[in-house]
Amino acid sequence: MLNQKWLIQIAQTTWKTMWQLMMSNLAPSENGNYQRPSSTYSNTVNENGDYIPEKNRYTIYAGLSCPWAHRTLIVRKLKGLEEVIDLVIVTPSPADGGWIIPQGSENCYTLRQLYSKVNSFYQGRCTVPVLWDKKTKTIVNNESSEIIVLLNNCFNQFASYPELNLYPDELGKIINNWNKKIYHHVNNGVYRCGFAQTQQAYEDACYGLFNLLDEIEIVLENNRYLCGDRLTLADVRLFTTLIRFDLVYFGLFKCNIKRITDYPNLSRYCKEIYNLEGVKETCNFQIIKQDYYGNLFPLNPGGIIPLGVPNYQD
């Protein structure tokens, strides 16, 4: 009969092997470092192209828990495009291996079916957000950083708040600089921590993440937003990660050197953006917890959903 020591060793070896297999499918890596695959569709919307700005022509497919998709929900709200661009909410289903469309859309009930309508041979990742063209039945763009620029720039003749410009030319350089740093160390940095497959990969990502958060905390000592007193797309891109930080990334992704609540200026910044008109309507903390803790089995095999949500109310 195997003694307890051997049982533990067998269980550890079996679980580590299974974990590595599951992680290889969930999060491709190179030398233990998580490598986020590139988006597939990168078309634009303009008056002279295949996809012209029109009311009720386009649909955004988004998951409420996804920080990348959340960007598009916020910009759609801030610009007042709810009556211009339709929204379909999708939900993750590990059993189906991806996002599902509970009510159906375009005769599709999974996001993979939607992608397959464009290319029946498509074998890549079926990610959100998706900007879909109902007229030509195709995906215009599935890169969140590009979709939010399109929402900001291309539908002003239909927007309720066309005067709001989240990507002004005079701030373009500083916005782009922030975006580059924040994407690598924060937006993707939390995933590089959570999906790291070696100790060194994790530590490199974690120190990079908190070094930049420390830098931003100093900037916000004298600035209302990243680029001064004006809200920009850089703030939107940072906010959707910060709003999930203490709730999910601190514990589940091991980003636990500090919480956002330990940063006075970052906390003030999150609260202010959350309380902008329309933004809180895009934040569903219960769904965020359910989708991360409930669906990322390799990181939380017990599926236990923690109690508590942040309070950003005025």
Q: Which residues are catalytic?
A: 66, 191
Buried/exposed code over 114-131 (b: 16+ C-beta within 10 A; e: otherwise): bbebbeeeeeebbbbbbb
Sign of the CA dihedral running 116, 121, 123, 129? negative
- For residue 138, the cross-strand partners are 133
> Among all chains, which residue has been given the structure tokens 């969140």?
144
> CA 32, CA 20: separation in Å to the nearest integer?
10
The one-letter amino acid code at 152 reads N
* Phi–psi pair at 288, nearest 5 degrees: -60, -50
Q: Are 188 and 20 in contact, with CB atoms under 8 Å apart? A: no
Structure tokens at 285: 């903390």
Look at residue 297 and give its three-state secondary structure: coil
